[in-house]
A and B are shown apart, each in its own frame.
Chain A
């Protein structure tokens, strides 16, 4: 198996590496770049735990071969806080009880960010739809939706 060369910009840092092509973006983010905040839940795009933002769009990183991500811009949960200041979504998730076991949380927050980046004033149904690919087994989603609404509200005042 011939190795491939990949350039990835992740959370503002550019990485160049050589790797086997039969790996997914999820594996590379977790194992090669050490971003274990991106979680593996099912490896088939059915749980959303691996959600990251690639080229400004939300994707399941378990469904992208690493070669397909060449020259892409990736945002993960680790890159959300700016200069030590948490993103309003992170703050809202913490304060409104939207975090329990935390395993769905990174993917949930990234999917929420992708929504708010494109639509700063979503209504509840739009939030539900944006998060319909992120499974949570602990919260019943209610406080997650409230957190997204609260973050949207805060961000609209910034």
Chain B
């Protein structure tokens, strides 16, 4: 691991200059000749039958080119990433406010808006339900024909009855976590272009272009080869752009109108229509001995997946696996229920189930400590995973030894922060939370990622990353790992945005796995690329392959002393004259070996874990219940830090998102039965809200299957904040909150 040339360095992001000079192009920035504009008519009802949609008046408006409704859909109307339960345009039923009903294509956005106003939709309102437990009652309004229970997962290990019998103390507590909006600054946008040959090109800010292509082909009844999905620069995603709806709508608009059509969501549409983090209620019953060792855990979790399934079942699976946290609990029984409601859709969002359970189990750890008169660090020491331990899904935990160092560092931070006296009139408290996140998609789910390298005529190497860079810097770390594997300078690497016509299929950028998968695939591709270079050089120069040694972008002749090294450009330049290129791909599959337990449904278990610890100090205004986080210490094990500044940036951003979860963000139904859907009501953390002291500690316990030891960081960075704050609040006030965002009313004395 020593003497790495670029991995481990804070190289400049590949697209940083474009982004600071305004030349980086996001989908909404694109202009093409004869571009038309699409706007979406969305349901104003939470739950209703549609008896008629009258577009006649709208179609008369000059400048309106086409209006698409469900009856126009040429192919498979129903789709979904896991369960096919959704039509891109509502047919005879709407199930959530904001559900797309029609697309209006016009010469300008204004004309499309005018047309949208005069489309008459006759709704027959149906009773609606917005709570998952209520939705599962027998008399609840039925949202889908097979009932409101979308999934139920049950996972157990050991015997909870024995476990509870062995306990000296049993606590039963419930917790509630809100609906969170991913809140990327770039709202969803898609531009679809229908060309004269009847082929479709779709630009979309997406986490999964190949999957989008597949869905578009299904819905339009077109071969995938006639569809090209291309990425632009993406302005953040966090899971919310793991949804094909916008691409499908733009494709339908282009198909119907035979034009190029751009659709850009307003902020309000983005909030209503794109997937959010599952709200949930978590019921935990835990048994513990007086010495702090937990003997049993029984949990029931109810998740609100909203009107359509999206990734609900997968989120539920990951959530279930994290129910006990990073702790060795011999007897566990977990049940997770995913319910349909008439809420906007919940789906993939950073954490994918782990932020929800983290708030529950880390609040509970402190509650147990408090009841037993134990220190918060000590009770965790008694229960954290040790090397060789398995999760309750019976998977060996990787680098469990990192937890001990994390706790030690956390304990140190806690002592230091406790010494700081509160400002006059305030109370202060320090809180701790550990966290676990899983990597990958789970056993049995295809989890392969292919990336490609091309040696260019000028000697540089182009990395065709097969999965999108969401703004987190995937292309940058891919470039670094390619440079490292080839022994050449980072400046010699170019990267390309994903284009399904040219790029290999790298899979979905999600699940804290892309750096890991890409790095491995790139290493494989690099080796093949080098072999090809040697082969071609041998052929062109008439030198036996055994006499050529590759070194740092050059070839050394071992049969002639003092011979000049042959540069890669010498070879690739000559190949270009022959119209040939050196290209190599590598496909890496997330490692699920035969030793992985297979007693759980497909998608479970996950087999690699990320671990973290967080310490938070808050100051509280006791009269008003206002919480001010003053210090956050985030301790993470990344396995190998490929790019320190990039990794720190992700962690710091994760802290902001996690603090929002704990303190200010909630998308809920207001008294007037409208959803919170504007940034005046959905409150991100601003510069003023952030703690003035943020410390990021990055540990490196190498993961043997990761390139250079790499693990993921993207999601775990935003997991422990809410619990750390809640525990700090308890330390400051003696008040235990069971819901987030924390309400001031609960704290104001």
Contacts and interface: CB of A to CB of B under 8 A. Distances in A.
A46 B185 contact: no
B236 A103 contact: yes
A152 interface: no
B234 to A, nearest CB: 7
Interface in B634-653: 645-646, 648-653
A136 B650 CA distance: 12
Provide the main secondary structure of the chain A interface.
loop
Interface in A23-70: 30, 34-44, 46-47, 49
B679 A101 contact: no
Interface string B18-33: 1111111110110100
Contacts of B182: 137
B236 A101 contact: yes
Contacts of B29: 30, 36
A139 B472 CA distance: 10
Q: Which of the listed residues B17, B183, B680, B687 has the most CB atoms from chain A within 10 Å of its own CB?
A: B687
Given A137-B653, A137-B684, A140-B652, A99 B19 contact: yes
A44 B680 contact: yes
B267 A100 contact: no
Contact of B690 (A20, A93, A96, A140): A140
A66 B282 CA distance: 51
Contacts of B473: 100
B686 A105 contact: no
A103 B15 CA distance: 12
Contact of A109 (B12, B20, B234, B688): B20
B15 A102 contact: yes
B184 interface: yes
B16 A135 contact: no
B81 interface: no
A101 B645 contact: no
Interface residues on A, range: 35 or more
Nearest to A109: B20
A128 interface: yes
A13 interface: no
A101 B266 contact: no
Contacts of A90: 17, 20-21
Contacts of B692: 124
Given A103-B184, A137-B236, A43 B267 contact: yes
B21 A136 contact: no
A156 B714 CA distance: 37
B688 A94 contact: no
A139 B649 contact: yes
Given A97-B10, A100-B473, A101-B471, A135 B20 contact: no
Interface string A110-151: 000000000000001001110111111111111111000000
Contacts of A102: 15-16, 18-20, 24, 233, 235, 471
Contacts of B83: none
A39 B185 contact: yes
Nearest to A41: B185
A104 B26 CA distance: 12
A6 interface: no
Nearest to B687: A128
B107 interface: no
A44 B678 contact: yes
Interface string A66-107: 000000000011101100001001100111110111111110
Given A46-B678, A96-B645, A103-B186, A37 B236 contact: no
Contacts of B24: 102
A47 B682 CA distance: 11
Q: Determine chain B's interface SS by DSSP, over half rule.
A: loop
B620 to A, nearest CB: 21
Contacts of B472: 100-101, 138
B22 A100 contact: no
A143 B645 CA distance: 9
A35 B22 contact: yes
A141 B22 contact: no
B678 to A, nearest CB: 7
B201 interface: no
Interface in B370-400: none
B19 A137 contact: no
A147 to B, nearest CB: 10
Contacts of B267: 41-44, 47
A19 to B, nearest CB: 12
Interface in B443-491: 470-473
- Max chain A CB contacts within 10 Å: which of B12, B650, B679? B679
Nearest to A105: B19
Contacts of B184: 101, 103, 137
B20 A105 contact: yes
B653 A43 contact: no
Given A46-B680, A47-B679, A140-B654, A99 B20 contact: yes
B185 A47 contact: yes
A100 B650 CA distance: 8
A86 B12 CA distance: 15
Nearest to A133: B686
B12 A141 contact: no
Given A39-B185, A46-B678, A139-B653, A99 B688 contact: no
Contact of A103 (B16, B471, B651, B687): B471
Contacts of B650: 100, 138
Given A94-B20, A137-B684, A101 B235 contact: yes
Contacts of A140: 649, 651-656, 685, 690, 694
Contact of A42 (B12, B679, B687): B679
B238 interface: yes
B320 interface: no
Given A36-B29, A102-B24, A137 B679 contact: no
A27 to B, nearest CB: 9
A80 B21 CA distance: 8
B697 to A, nearest CB: 14
Contacts of A109: 20
B59 to A, nearest CB: 22
A46 B187 CA distance: 14
A129 B688 CA distance: 7
A96 B645 CA distance: 7
B690 A132 contact: no
A103 B19 CA distance: 8
Q: Which of A22, A81, A102, A132 has the most CB of B within 10 A?
A: A102
Interface string B272-293: 0000000000000000000000
B235 A103 contact: yes
Contacts of A30: 29
B213 interface: no
A136 B238 CA distance: 13
A30 to B, nearest CB: 8
Contact of A141 (B20, B679, B690): B690
Interface of B: 10, 12-13, 15-26, 28-29, 31, 110, 182-187, 233-236, 238, 264, 266-267, 470-473, 645-646, 648-657, 678-680, 684-688, 690, 692, 694
11 contacts: A34-B31, A39-B185, A43-B267, A46-B680, A77-B20, A78-B21, A93-B16, A124-B692, A135-B684, A137-B182, A138-B472
Given A47-B679, A137-B653, A139-B649, 15 more contacts: A39-B26, A40-B28, A46-B678, A47-B185, A89-B20, A94-B17, A101-B235, A105-B20, A128-B688, A132-B686, A134-B687, A135-B684, A138-B653, A140-B649, A140-B690
Please provide the 4 A-B residue pairs with the shortest distance between their CB atoms, ordered closest to farther: A37-B22, A101-B471, A102-B19, A103-B235
Interface of A: 20, 22, 30, 34-44, 46-47, 49, 76-78, 80-81, 86, 89-90, 93-97, 99-106, 109, 124, 127-129, 131-145
